[in-house]
Amino acid sequence: MKEYLRIGTNYYKKVYQPQINGEILPVIVPWKRQTIIDDHKKEGLESIDKYEGFTVIPSHSNYQYSVKNFYNLYAPLTHNLDIEFLTGSIPTTISFLRHIFGKQLEFGLDYISLLWQNPTQILPILCLISSERNTGKTTFLNWMKSIFQDNMTTNTNDDFRSRFNSDWAHGKLIIAIDEVLLERREDSERLKNLSTAKNFKPEAKGKDKVEVRFFGHFILCSNNEDNFIMIDDKEIRFWVLKISPLENVDSDFEDKLLEELPQFIAFINKRKISCPKKTRMWFTPEQIHTTALDNLKKGTKANLEKELIVTIDELLKEYDLQEIKFTTEDLQDLLKDSLYKTPRNKIIEIVKVKWGLKNPNSSYYKYHHSINPGTNEWQVSHQGKKGRCYTFTKEFIDSLLKC
């Protein structure tokens, strides 16, 4: 009866679900007490292992199914850890990792070793980018999945944005997002917050939120090199690597990687971390700095104009207006909650120089929502102001959106 569990007062069964790729995924599903009795008679209930509740304790070299009589939902690995690492036994793996991490190979080995040896350690958000094909980004994700197995999940942009996130936010060591395009500022803020969060409240359909320990690490892959995500000049949480195309790829390349996997796991299981911990994300910004990160920051700056256009368009629609006026200070205020803590000269450069708008002294209205005391409903209100303001017509903003 080892396939059954009693967690608290509820019964579960461990089943093995076949996947489309031929793999077998272990899943714990609710199981009715009466069904167990029907299948195994009432006496069968006595032999079922009983636990106080669920927990998630990540470990790869000292895994425990039960921790203080709580059932561990962190997935056990199937690797043989008794293999002795033989020097020079992983040439294909080292060559591949040198292709991915380049001159930062030692930091890359530290990154993977830390995931294995110290899974709750906060680490940078690893980003693999390239507009070219056949670079090995997806191969790297598949290879990491082979190492960490069911403790890694690969999501889409919509999966990450979904409010129902318990499938990846609870108990997963690595959360990969392939072909990532998180161009909204709330996406970036959420990702940054999660990358350093210690606790999180995952949400599942029909279940209450419960705060859990969060130890997830993000790996992003994108074909968009310059603006797959919005980050500011001072951002230090992203490790961005531009990956070049693989040269002279052996048709058996991935098979050779898998053949070397037992030796590589023996290697990272006992490998000494070469870089001592210097920040809460282990590495310093200087250690993981790349030209690709600088280009991403420049791409984000270029998106300031787009952010401004979209924000003004939303306000025109929200207040049902054909035109709206703002001073430079008003425009700064509009962007205060975005990634762009923008100085006056940057806004003037876009609005006055690039768009060619004038800002003469004039009267204008500042709009906001308020409660109508008579109907107790929301209404659009406005307050008269004076200043040097720009006029944005709906027609003009529509033309910018089409560019």
Q: Residue 152's pLDDT is what?
A: 93
Closest listed residue to residue 103, CA positions, set 273, 251, 269, 287: 287
The pLDDT tens digits for 180-210 are 877 676 777 888 888 887 777 666 665 656 6
**β-strands 53-55, 49-51 pairing:** unpaired
Whole-number Å distance between alpha carbons of 380 and 29: 51
Q: What is the pLDDT of residue 69?
A: 94
- Look at residue 275 in the predicted model and tell me its pLDDT: 94
Write down all domains in the chain, each with its CATH number in brackets.
4-72 (no CATH), 91-289 (3.40.50.300), 300-402 (no CATH)
User: Tens of pLDDT along 314-326?
Assistant: 899 988 899 999 9
CA distance 238 to 97: 19
The alpha-helical segments, DSSP class H, found in 12-62 are 33-40
Positions in the chain short of pLDDT 50: none
Contact criterion met (CB below 8 Å) for 83 and 262: yes
CB 289 within 8 A of CB 242: no
In the block, which residue shows the tokens 């992203």? Answer: 238
Which residues is 12 bridged to in the sheet?
Answer: 5, 30
